[in-house]
Chain A
Amino acid sequence: MILQVSGVSKRFGGLQALSDVSFNLEEGRIMGLIGPNGAGKTTLFNCINGVYRPEEGRVVFRGQNITGNKTYHVAKMGLSRTHQIVRPLNDLTIRENVIVGACFGRENHSLGSAEKIADEVLEFVRLHERANQLAGSLNVGQKKRLEMARALAARPYLLLLDEVLAGLNASEITQMIGIVRDIRERGTTIIMIEHVMQAVMNVSDDILVLDFGKQIAFGTPEQVANDPKVIEAYLGDPTLAAELSGKKSSA
């Protein structure tokens, strides 16, 4: 078990952003994390990688309790993430951004070896032609791939992807899904938050559904898509509900 989350709860003032979320993730799998806007998906990531300390519950990563650990310690243990709202280091080049990931991540590389990793990873996410451009000059889709590249350069055991498909056009989505599959091929475990239902259903081994901070379903994509509670949660959003049932009929 690479990640064990048990009974995690997080409050913001009067708002219960997460209540009693628990799941186990096996190594080498892709877990999709879905739920309507504001369901607490990003907050769950923040509780796992130490941006927030949950009020209750435990997060165990590769056998170690990391609940409330500093994010940089968690990163060095091999847990990397991307941000839903991209956070490029604007005034550094794309290559330097990725070198930061390699230098300070799990393998703690020197600048020299980090440069090699950066070039490899940039080619992998197809940003190598822009390596010497400033990160601030990229468009959103490219910035998402930069987020991905930085996280990958750390050579993590577990990768948390927060809506890497949002805001991308159809061909970029196909490209990104290819990248996600390749990452898994290389043995990295992935949790991905996604709104593009088709994509997340196709690519995930397990799905966790959050609604108002509560975990309403956990299982295979088929189980989840047929779960009445999930369909109900998405009824407020007709297009998503349609996508879910669309998936059901095609499965």
Chain B
Amino acid sequence: MSLKNLKNPGLWLTLVVVFILGVIPIINNKASAREETLTVLLSVILVSSLNILLGYTGYISFGHIVFYGMGGYVGLFLISVYGWSLWTAMAAGGLASGLLAFLLGSAILRLRGSYFALATIGINEAMRAFISNFEPFGGPTGISLNFQVYNQYGGAAQALWTIYYVVLALALGNILLSYLVKTSKFGLGLQAIREDEEAAEVMGVVTPSSKTWAYVLSAVLPGMVGVLFFFKNGNIEPGPAFRLHLSIELLVMVMLGGYGTIAGPVLGAFGYQRLRGLLLTSDLFKNIQLTVAGVLLLVIILFIPSGAVGWIRHRFPVTRRYLP
């Protein structure tokens, strides 16, 4: 990973666009706009971390949201029971998710293709069942925070703004991270695995550890933002923490924007959340949003399998250098 790579215009364009969109609610000082953008930024983080596994390494995970829920649980547990600060709890949530990914990865990344994908669905469901029966985490009722915890962050209203700043910073940091991974030797090994795992091994790519580290890297940031989201929420329960359909929506966003690219997950997250926002205001679509997501996924896979950014890169090969 050489520093001259950092001069890539596509990377900076992506960062600048996200920064500007993220700063608008701050300048306008509007809570409603902030909440809308927060949802998008959270998606950007989840999607571009999923992209490290799905887009670079070629392993489809239906259980990415497990790391979000896991981080949220560990964080809220440490805050409510041990009185940890939000920030150390956030770090612990990221670490816990990374560790979980390490253990899971060592076990299931030996599976190829659809078997791995199936195993990740199983993990999501198993995790929810386990947490529902795990008493320290409150079993089926989960963990609720005492309203007073917000006092040390300047009250609830101020805490929401602070969380927003941190999420914006993490989103920018995650875009940078995914770029650095992609342009590193490690990332090249991952892409070789995606293209042909056996050929990669024959060339000396140590696939088990590469895949496991990709999985760990893709899990840490979701774990961290899980803590932030559920802290802001004030409580966490097994259902909302391990929602299979959120994982599927993340897949739609990666595929929509273009897997394996830097700008793709960002574009996918913005585009999908925008669309969802429009659909949610219509009574007709409110109840069938997951159906819409499914149909959208089908259409993407059939007609633009490489997603919006991938399509541009294919159609206009000169853009490959500028659109990482």
A residues contacting B by CB (< 8 A) are 49, 51, 70-72, 75-76, 80-81, 83, 87-92, 96, 99-101, 103-106, 110-112, 114, 134, 150, 154
Contact = CB atoms under 8 A, between A and B. Distances in A.
Interface string B21-41: 000000000000000000000
B205 interface: yes
Nearest to A82: B202
Residue with the greatest number of chain B CB neighbours at <10 A, chosen from A51, A92, A104: A104
B2 to A, nearest CB: 6
Contacts of A106: 204
B204 A104 contact: yes
Contacts of A88: 195-196, 199
27 contacts: A49-B202, A71-B198, A71-B202, A72-B202, A72-B205, A75-B202, A81-B202, A83-B199, A83-B202, A87-B196, A87-B198, A87-B199, A88-B199, A89-B195, A91-B191, A92-B195, A99-B188, A100-B205, A101-B204, A104-B203, A104-B204, A104-B205, A105-B203, A111-B184, A114-B185, A150-B203, A154-B204
Given A100-B200, A111-B2, A89 B205 contact: no
B132 interface: no
Contacts of A112: 2
A154 B205 CA distance: 12
B185 A111 contact: yes
Contacts of A105: 203-204
A81 B204 CA distance: 11
B125 interface: no
Contacts of B170: none
Q: How large is the interface on B (under 10, 10 to 19, 20 to 34, 35 or more residues)?
A: 20 to 34
Contact of B201 (A71, A90, A99, A114): A71
A99 to B, nearest CB: 7
B141 to A, nearest CB: 47
Contact of A91 (B189, B195, B206): B195
Contacts of A111: 1-2, 184-185, 188
B316 to A, nearest CB: 13
B313 to A, nearest CB: 10
Interface string B5-34: 000000000000000000000000000000
Contacts of B47: none
Contacts of A83: 199, 202
Contacts of B206: 72, 104
A222 B300 CA distance: 61
Contacts of B2: 111-112
Nearest to B183: A111
Given A92-B191, A103-B188, A70 B201 contact: yes
Contacts, number: 80
A89 B192 contact: yes
Given A89-B196, A99-B188, A150-B203, 19 more contacts: A49-B202, A72-B202, A72-B206, A75-B201, A75-B202, A75-B203, A75-B204, A87-B198, A87-B199, A88-B195, A91-B191, A91-B194, A91-B260, A92-B191, A96-B191, A104-B189, A105-B203, A106-B204, A134-B317
B235 interface: no
A110 B185 contact: yes
Contacts of B207: 72
Residue with the greatest number of chain A CB neighbours at <10 A, chosen from B189, B194, B195, B196: B195
B191 A76 contact: no
A51 to B, nearest CB: 7
Interface string B254-298: 000000100000000000000000000000000000000000000
Contacts of B204: 72, 75-76, 101, 104-106, 154
Contacts of B191: 89, 91-92, 96
The 8 A-B residue pairs with the shortest CB-CB distance, nearest first, are A104-B204, A75-B204, A89-B195, A87-B199, A71-B201, A100-B192, A104-B205, A105-B204
Contacts of B200: 89, 100, 104
Given A110-B185, A111-B185, A51 B202 contact: yes
Interface string B209-230: 0000000000000000000000
A143 to B, nearest CB: 12
Contacts of B1: 111
Contacts of A150: 203
B201 A72 contact: yes
Given A90-B195, A92-B195, A112-B2, A100 B203 contact: yes
A49 B203 CA distance: 11
Nearest to B191: A92
A80 B201 CA distance: 11
Nearest to B205: A104
Contacts of A134: 317
A150 B205 CA distance: 13
A48 B181 CA distance: 33
B199 A89 contact: yes
A81 B202 CA distance: 7
A92 B195 CA distance: 8
Contacts of B199: 83, 87-89
Contacts of B194: 91
A96 B192 CA distance: 9
